[in-house]
Structure 1
């Protein structure tokens, strides 16, 4: 009975056409008013057909989101109980769409987002922008911690020092605390500091000494032999 009802709804509603050059969908468009309904949509460039619940339309990103998870077997079950299988489709890829099922909406609500069930919250663009800037800042900080044109051993020295003291690369030099300079090949003999900051060298020297001591001890450690159990039967 539910399938027959859906087909009858589909047969009564003409298929709106949205050309590939469409770049905005406003509050008066058929797609905007169909938020929360089940639709069948044909997409460029391969005429792919998707059927599901129209979750949202957005004229900022110029795209729609459709949940293609199957409808609940019980026709009276709320759409909010559906699992999620979402697809993002740009407006420009929409060739046409067909409304195949009515939307579940809040009582006495108008078209669009406000009456959609489940409810659709407004996007906090300021918070998204702040997260984007924070992510970019962290990526730049991580990139600054990687030496350019240096050996793996040089990067290991840098990592060992930077875990204790603020460090940065200056070409192939390591600058520690904006005072101590570690020149290639990054040994204890390659430490220097400007006049008046010589006291900072002692701490860096201690870190390097510990690093090279651990590395020497690790290389000199004898390999552990795993005993082989005797074979059964002699």
Structure 2
């Protein structure tokens, strides 16, 4: 009975000979109306065959999403309990498709993803734009923390100071607290600041002294010998 029903459903959908294109897949297309159903789809360029639940079709990205995870063993189990193994396929790669099983849909819903189960929520474009803008700001901030055309030692000094005080680059100079300049070659003797900023100079001097002291201590440590295991057989 189940097999005859499957054949009956499949027979109602004609397999496109040339495959649907992006202009043909719209609200009236068979593939759009099959959202939520089990389908078998053949894809270019290697005639790969995927079988699963059609999750959605999108005329904006010109692609479909199909969940190839096996259906729940209990036929009455909701699709929301179905595990996910999703594949995104561009319309242009679809060679043919076949409807092999009716899908679960919301009561009195029309075709397409509006009635699909589990429901597909709308994308919050404002949140996506805000996240994009935040990411761009963070990338610009990180880029500003990298000196242009400076040595690794200069960058190490900048990083050491910036961990404790507001620091930025001004060409090859390091500007601390918008007051103290650390000029090349970035030693304690290369600090400059306007009158009245003696406290800021003292802070920066202390940070530089600690940085160079740690570097000196690291260079004076004796290397640790790595023990060599005895050779087998003497």
Compute the TM-score of the two structures, normalised by the length of structure 1. 0.85
| Aligned 8 A contact 2:64 2:89 in 1 | yes
| Aligned 8 A contact 1:2 1:75 in 2 | no
- CA distance in structure 1 between the aligned counterparts of 2:15 and 2:144, rounded to whole angstroms: 54
- CA distance in structure 2 between the aligned counterparts of 1:51 and 1:211, rounded to whole angstroms: 62
| Pair 1:133-2:133 in alignment | yes
List alignment gaps of at least 5 residues for structure 1. 229-234
| Pair 1:14-2:20 in alignment | no
Q: How many residues align?
A: 230
Shift, 1:148, TM fit: 2.6
- CA distance in structure 2 between the aligned counterparts of 1:154 and 1:189, rounded to whole angstroms: 15
Other-structure match for 1:78: 78
Shift, 1:222, TM fit: 4.4
| Aligned 8 A contact 2:22 2:62 in 1 | no
Q: What secondary structure is seen at the aligned counterpart in 2 of 1:130? A: helix
- CA distance in structure 2 between the aligned counterparts of 1:121 and 1:67, rounded to whole angstroms: 17
| Pair 1:202-2:202 in alignment | yes
Shift, 1:80, TM fit: 1.7
Shift, 1:72, TM fit: 2.0
| Aligned 8 A contact 1:173 1:184 in 2 | yes
Relative distance call for 1:20 and 1:188 in structure 2 (3 A) is farther
- CA distance in structure 2 between the aligned counterparts of 1:17 and 1:179, rounded to whole angstroms: 73
Shift, 1:66, TM fit: 1.0
Other-structure match for 1:41: 41
- CA distance in structure 2 between the aligned counterparts of 1:55 and 1:49, rounded to whole angstroms: 16
List alignment gaps of at least 5 residues for structure 2. 229-234
Compute the TM-score of the two structures, normalised by the length of structure 2. 0.85
Deviations 1:130-180 (A, max 9, x none): 111111111111122122332222221111101111112233322222222
Shift, 1:121, TM fit: 0.8
Shift, 1:196, TM fit: 5.5
- CA distance in structure 2 between the aligned counterparts of 1:20 and 1:194, rounded to whole angstroms: 72
1:160-179 to 2 correspondences below 5 Å: 160-179=160-179
Shift, 1:19, TM fit: 5.0
